[in-house]
Structure 1
Amino acid sequence: MAIEKILLAVGPGDAERTEELASTLVDLAAPLDADVVLAHVFTDDEYDSTLNNLNVSGDDVTSDEVARRHATIRTISRELDDVGVDFTVRGAIGPHGEQIVGLAEDEDADLVIVGGRKRSPTGKAVFGSTAQEVMLSAPCPVTFVRGE
């Protein structure tokens, strides 16, 4: 299976993994000349908070535009621009795992990249794991990038 489209999905916990996520994406996408979709997924509360922080209303911007303005996406975008990797940006609102899987399906992604942190089995059972949900439900392979 050829990798023609890669979806990198980020959320609120990925700010400290930005460098690792961008590096992994560049390492995979650049040699393949793959299409790249950067996606930021917000819960309803996260989205409302981000709109407030940006001092805009939901009527003024789309979720794609809010994602483009988010610091994590801007940082990764600069990394991709620096090495000449073209990309589009998508924003989604809802449960993280469900929205990432939906974006992978909508974008017909060949690979999804998600970040996370190491958790104990108990931590996963009690709190859930977006990355685990994506790995189990995505329509394509998933690369997990663990933060420090």
Structure 2
Amino acid sequence: MERALVVVDETDSHRELLAEAVEIVRGTGADLELFSWVTPDEFEADVETLEAAEQAEGATYSTASANDIVTNFVDEFVDDVVGDDAPEYGVSSAVVEDSELADKILNAAAETDCDHIFLVGRRRSPTGKVLFGNVAQKVILNFDGRVTITMD
């Protein structure tokens, strides 16, 4: 493993995954890339919140970008999970609908030259997988590298 991509969200399963991935990355000396996302609705709500705070406080905030919002979340998440002992990492982000999430994860892994992906999968019935797809399944089938999945 030379570079690992860890998909993070704010659930307890993602906290556990990040903690384990960090230990593996430390042990192998690999580089670490973290990927997270916001939906278009979440992004719009975050921008509106910043604009409202700007008006109420009279402070000036720079125009928020999705990358800024996700990077702030990831930095706080890493600090909460790993603390000051966190290894250096890069952040990849996207504004994405759920149906496009697997493609965005695969794109982030390709763009950052990752050879290993860590992600949380959801338990689904076989019928649910057929009808609605599965992010973990699509990543496994389309990634040319190792994939580690922990179940939510």
Please report the TM-score for the alignment, with normalisation by the length of structure 1: 0.79
SS at match of 1:145: strand
Residue 55 of structure 1, aligned match among 50, 56, 71: 50
* Residues 3, 33 of structure 2: 8 Å contact kept: yes
The 1-side partners of 2:51 and 2:13 are apart by 27
The 2-side partners of 1:69 and 1:79 are apart by 14
Structure 1 gap segments, 5+ residues each: none
- Counterpart AA for 2:67: D
- Counterpart AA for 1:117: R
- Count of residues in Structure 1 that have an aligned counterpart in Structure 2: 140
Q: C-alpha displacement at 1:105, in angstroms?
A: 0.4
* Residues 97, 133 of structure 1: 8 Å contact kept: yes
* Counterpart position of 1:64: 67
Please report the TM-score for the alignment, with normalisation by the length of structure 2: 0.78
Counting aligned pairs with the same residue, the percent is 25
- Counterpart AA for 2:50: N
- RMSD across aligned positions (CA): 2.4
* Residues 41, 99 of structure 1: 8 Å contact kept: no
Residue 133 of structure 2, aligned match among 128, 134, 140: 128
Structure ID, larger Rg: 2
Residue 142 of structure 2, aligned match among 122, 137, 140: 137
The 2-side partners of 1:135 and 1:24 are apart by 19
